[in-house]
Every structure is written in structure tokens, then in C-alpha cells.
Chain A
Amino acid sequence: MVKTKSFLQKFYVGLIFTILYAPIAVLIVCSFNASKARTIWGGFTLDWYVQLFQNEAVIDAVKTSLMLTTSAALIATLLGTFACIGMTVMSKRSQAVIGTVTNIPMLNADIVTGIAIMLLFVRFMKLGYTSMLIGHVTLGIPYVILNVNPRLRSASKTTYEAALDLGAGPVYAFIKVVLPELMPGIMAGFLMAFTISLDDFIITYFTKGAGINTISTMLYQEVRRGINPEMYAMSTLLFLAILLILFVVNRIGAKQDEMKVY
């Protein structure tokens, strides 16, 4: 009885993960498929990978995406973290007001956020890289605040005060004492802002200027014409790169934990 139950549980978890990863497996298989027809296997090839690096439009889109996502996540992390630190000394009321405004981009529909920023830029400035960047930062900040705020609240005040009593300046004490405690929250916020920005299509679609493409908007144009298999190759490479980064980060994290134990 217990055995069948635990088997059923494992089967269920396995099934959901299979469904979740099936489309990704399909993409990876397609990136090695010599046939351009999506459902026919035409033999193994690396042609798409070779062509990918010769296709300047794709390379440009990847560059734009990575640049945009990295800078948006960095700006969002800086703004969000500073905002959290400042908010700790504010009245409950101001904190509640700021919190509500912060939640708007997260809770509002992406299509509305995207259109709203587009309207602002079309009216007063021009659409382009700046408007895309602003859209992505706005999208990311709530996730940074959401991750940093709880850390800041649970950080102990006494250690900071002790550092001050021992003669550290406020900035020095902050960097040496408070910041290390916040670091996991800041990293998690950065990672989330990065993920959401990289995966975003809707905000980019509405705020992008003519002639600029990210991976998302390029794919959207190709959906009707039929996706270029180079895109499968590109996403396979990105996926592998991210797996590698996560693996390394995990390893470093595990090592540090070990060092703490001993």
C-alpha cells in the first residue's frame, strides 16, 4: 500500500516534469534535424549551428536581448535595493503607498503596462532602445523589492549598531555587516528580474522602436513564415549555457556551505 502510493507519487512528479520539458526536448531535437519540415526527421546535421553564426540578424537579436536583459536587471536591482534600504526608515503609511505602486506592474496585465509605456514615449520622446530598457526595468523592480525587503526586515539591527559602536562609519558598517545579509535576496531578485526580462515578449513588442529586434520579437515575425531552424540551434545553445552557469553557481554555493560547516 505504502509502496504503490510512493510509486504513484513519483510517477506523477515524473509525468509533470516530462510534460514541462517535452517541448524543450522537441526544440533541441529540431536543432539537429536536417529537414526543414518540422515533423519529418531528415537526418542529423550541425548545419543550423554553422549558419547561426553567419546570420547577422540573429546574432544582432541575441546581442540586443542579452544587453537589454543584463542592463535592465542590473538597473532594477540597484534601484530596488536602494529603495528597500530607504524604506526601512519611512513611516508605515509611506511604505504602504510605495508598496502599492510597486505592485502595479506586477499585477497589471503586461499588455496594459506595455501599451502605457509606449503611449508615454510616442507622445513625448521616441520609441527605441531606451523605451525598451525602461519597460524592462519597470517590469523587474517589483521582483527585486519582493526579494530584498523580507531579507532587510529579518536582518539584525544590533550587529549594525555594534559595528557603529566599534567605530565603523555608517557606509562601511553597511557594506561589511548589512550587505552580506542582504546578498541572497539581492541575487534572487536579480535572477528573477533577469529571467522575466529575457522571457518577455509583450512589453518588448509594444515598446520597441523600428529596426530593433530581440530574440522574442524576431521569433514573433517568423511564426507566420515558419521558424528558421537556426533559432532552435540558438535556443539550444542558450539553454546549455544557462545550465552550465547554474551548475557552476550551485557548485560554488555548495563549496561555501561546506567551508562554513568545517
Chain B
Amino acid sequence: MYAKLVFRNAKRSVKDYLIYIVTMTICVALFYAFLSVSSSYYNPDIGSEYDFTLLSDGMKAAICMITLLLLFLIRFVNHYMLLRKQKEFAIQSIMGMEQKTIGRIFFAETLIMGMLSIWIGIFSGVFCSQFITAMLLTAYGKPYEISWTLFPDTVLLTVVFFVASFFVVGIFNTRTIQKTKIIDMLSAAKENEPELKKSRFISIAAVLFELFTAWGLMTGIQKIYFYDDPRLALSVQLMFWGNILFPLLAVLWPVFCRIRKKKREYCLTGLLLCSVFNAFAAASVAALKNKYYLPLGSGTLNQYLLFVLIDLIFFLCALIYLTSGLIAAWKEKSPEHRYHEEALFFFGQITSKLNTTSKTMTIICITLVLAIFMFVAAPVLTGWSSGYLDIRSMYDVQAFSRYNQVYEEENLPQDSYEIIADFLTEHKIDTDYDCTFNLYLPEKEDFHNRQKYDFPIAAIAVSDYNAIREMLGYGQISLGEDEFTTQWKTIATGEERDSFLKEHPSIMTDAGKLTLSGQSYYEDAIGETAYNSYTDVLYVLPDRICEKLLPVMKNRYITTSENISYENAIELEKLFTERFPEQTESGVMYGIRLCTLQTNSTIANNFVLQAAMLYGAVVLMIICLTVLSLQQLLDAGQYQYRFSVLRKLGVEEKAVGKLILAQLGVWFGLPIIAAMIVSAVIITYFIQIISAEISAYIGFGALMLQIGATIGILSILLICYFISTWIIFRRSVNPS
């Protein structure tokens, strides 16, 4: 009998469960799709030079961490269903059914819906996992083939995880039902008139903001005391003073408001503006530090980053809190605004809900910003990393040394790393090119110069340079008798290069003065180890000049005719590090970079990072949208009453429909638009700081594509949730 009741209930209330099913299906699909990569049955053809276990372990850990967030969501959605069915429970209790049984019936119902979601979710997951596989194979540079496979271990893991979470949540629900009094259940759906009380959340947020601003003020004073110098550029001076004046204004503003007995909203509007100024001032620190090489440590930068975040979070809190005030002010401005058809009702709906839920709205906004940022940042970070890989891993083997800790000339490296050639011969790996060369200091006296921002530029002999160019397939270059030219890193900007060349038409070396060649620079990537530390440029000098210069670093670049396998690469690395450790007694730092290992770890790490960030971002977005949607549906009882009053007053169905659409539009639109604005600011700032890396390694086109994809995914999710909410909302408020 109970089983029949459960099935009939489930069948009848499938539409009530729409949000539950939509949310669960998306969660299951994502979980399955991302986890399928770590399945032991998953065996994509990525080649012998790659080791896949590195990736699948990382993926499993990352996915499971993020999935913990889903537990919160499952609990939330269940809570909503519980509230929605209270009246039904009350009737069953009155009829004499034990509350324990009611709890069990409800649990069985949610389990049926849950199983339905798991079923649909896994099949959608198989579809989604195609994208993940495509992403993976693209990462490893292999062609993509569609394979419709269901991985039994992933299916099992998905089912076990979700069923287990349903059970955990089910136990909580059954206990809640058992504890609730029948009278409370009965009156749960009835209209109640809650006091329109503004939450105290904003006062706490303002106090916290003030505390952080005071800290910012003190930091600003401290920084200006230690680092300000009248010789610094005007923009730097402005930055230093801005970081004192704006926080000072923010600290003094509430005091002023208190003395002049201003309204709370007035005070908050001031603080809102202060938070914007503060954020700009704090954000300028990182931007100017990069531009002017300011001696501010990463600790200070992180501190200012924290201030920017605090300012933005407070901005969101204040903005959402003030929105209802803003609507009220607009409403009060003229009777035309106020008394235009159903406008009064609409404003009442929006402001009352905003007043009571400003805290939730703010948290949703912040979470959305985080999700959007993760979406955009994931490809930037991985693109940066893999773009950098292309540049630094240009040879199959790179052995190099650094003299940063060497203080005596006799300790400089002499070895030509024969150990590598022996290893390759032993393992029958043919070499195509092999080049061992020195890097020199143009002036010997610079050997002891170890200042980071004034580190000497190293030089290479033109014959060695040509040998490297040949290895990489570039054309040969030639130099006149007393000429030199330059080779630049990809990251260096055109401006930097031009100003450098303008300032250095000639250079002094220990073997005489050299003038800049007609072809003054080369930009073809030759790897990162050919440059001295902290410099983006390398001098190319005639061979006879180099013979008289001090060689400070020794490099050996090898390209092999076939890829070195993963095992061999590990063995060679081990052998080399034993013979040439990173730290030696003489102070020379040795290093080896093997293309196979670099590619392997970079690709695996990148993929895990990208997948985890994308998964996390989608999960966060789903959480936000579900909470937004349920916030509206939870009050369906109240809304039904309010809309029935409107109908009785003679408002047409068409107008009621429009009001519902407008209300949901504002409810979904406000946090999303606020989050979009703040994310746009953060992303612009982020892009600006690493614009050099983006243009060098990723390309703005690819970045824009990603931003477009983010907007696309957000829009699809938004449409799904908006339509589901709209359908259920209409069902709730329409007369049966």
C-alpha cells in the first residue's frame, strides 16, 4: 500500500520536483563526465611518451574535493521539497499515519526522483565526457575520436556517491519530519505576515569593512614612510597617497555621518563610493609595481590584493542592500512612478524580498563572481603554462648552469656535460643536433653585480647562436667586425625592446666597443635558459670578441631524432642531478630540462587545473542559480495569496503574467548583473596585470573565445533555471 502511495505521489508531483530533478541531473552529469577521465577503463591513445596515471590521480582528488560542495546543494534542495510538502504531511499525520512512516515515504519519493536524475544524469554525462575527452586529447596534441563508452567503475562510483548522499540527507529529513509538530505543518503553507525587518548583516559588513580599511590606512602610512621617494614618478606618488587618503576618507565618513546625524542609507552610499576608490587605489599597487619595479615584496602585493577583494565584497554587500532603498527612492520621486498601474505591487514585492534576503543575495553574488573568474582564469592560467612550455621546451634535452651564487671566477662551470651524450649513445638514441656553448659577460667587472633590477645581460658567440638557430630551423645570421645584435624573449614588449635599442646604440666590452648591427634584434624563441637571470635580452657578439670575455655559464642543447620515452627521461634526469646537483659547493647551479618530462607534467597539471576549475565554476553557478530559484519558490504560499488579491482587485491574467516575469527577471537579473560588473572589473585588472603573458602565450582571440564560452554556459544554465522556476512559480500562484 505504501509503495503504491509512493509511486502515485512521485508520478503526480513530478512537476513539483522539476527544480530538484534539473539540479540533480546536472550535478550527476558533471560528476560522471569529469570523473570518467580517471576511470581505469579509460584508455585514450596519448602515446608512449606520456604517463596517464599522473593525471587520473590528480583528477580524482580534485573532483572529490569540489563534489563536497554538491552535498550542500543536495541538502538545500531537499529542504525546499520538505517545506513544500508540509501540508501534505500534516494531513497524513492527522489521518493517523506515524510521522516516522511519513518521513520514510518522503524519503522514498525523493529517492525515486534522485534515481531518475542519476539515470538521466549518467547518460548526459556520457555525452558531456566527450567534451572532456576532446579537451584531454587536444591537451596532449592528439586527434580526437568519439567513443561512446559507459565506464562501469565510474557509473558505480557516481551511483554510490549520490545514493549515499541521498541516504544521509534522507536521514536528516526523516528526523526533521518526526520532530515537527502537526500544527506547525498545517500552518506552514498558510499566509503569514512576516515583519519587513531589515537584516543586521549590513551593519556587521560595514564594521568589518571599516576594520580592514583602518588596516589598509596603516599599511599605506607604513609604505609611504619606508618606500616613498620624491624621485619616483607622479603616478607612483599618487598611488602611495591614494592608499592613505581614500581609506582615511572611508574611516572618517561614518564619524561624520554620526555627528551630522545622517541616515543609514546616506552613510552607506558614501561607504559604497569609498570602497570603489579604495579598490582602485589598492589595485594600482600591483599594476605600478610591475611597471616601475617598485621594491614591494609579494607579501605587500598579497596584502593589497586582499584589500581589493574586501573592497569589492563590501561593494556588493552595500550595492544589494541599497538597491531596495534605491527602488524606494525612485518610487517616492513622483506619483507617476508610484501609481502606474501595478507598479506599487511590483515595488512592494521586490523591496520586501530584498530587505529580508540581502545577505543571501550578497553571498550568491560573491559566489557567482568567483565562478565567472574561475571560468575565465582557467584557460588563461593553463594557456600561459602550456604556451610557456612551447617556449621553454624547445629542445629534447637542455642542460644549463647559473652563476648567481658563484663569487670566485675559478669556480665558474667548465664541464661540457658529456654524461648526457654517453647516456644517449648507451640507449641507442640518435641525436640530430648537439650544441655546447658558453654564455659570456661583456664586461668582467659586472661579474660581481648581483642586483636583481640591474643584472648584467649575457652574451653569446655568433657561431653558437647560428648553431642553435640551425637546430631550431631558423635562418643563419651574420655580423660585421665590430658589430653586435640582440636576441629577445617572447615576453618582452615591443616598447621595451625599442627603448632598449635606442639607449644602447653601442656597448662596451672587455675586447672593445661594438656598435649595433643593421638588423638590431631577433625575436625567434630559443628557450629560456639562454638568457641570464632577470633579463629578457641576450647580446650576440662576434666570435673573436667572445674569446676575450669571461664565460660565466655553460649550456648544452640536444635534439634527438625520436622522442625520449618517459622511463628513459626519468633515468637521465636522475643521473644528471646526481652528477650535477642544483646546489653545489662552488655555488654553481645546474639544471636539466627534458622535453618529455616537462610536457608530461605540464599537460597533466594543466588538465587537472583546467578541469577542476571549470567543474568548480559550473558547480558554483548551479548552486547560485538553484538557491536563487528556490528562494522564490519557497515563498510560493505567500505569493499565491498576494496574486489572488490582485486578481480580486480586477487585474487581468495577462498583467499578472507580466508581473511574474518581471519579478523573476529582477530576482535573477540583479545578482547576475552585479556579479558580471564586479567580475568584469576583476578580469580586466587580471588581464592588465598579465597582458604581456596573455599576448605572448595565449593570444587575446583565444581569451575572448573563452569569455564568450563562459557567457554561453552561464546563459544556458540561466535559461534552464529561469524557465523551470517560471513554470513552477506560475503553477504555484495560478488558481487551480
Is this pair of chains taken from one and the same complex? no
What is A's interface to B at a CB cutoff of 8 Å? none
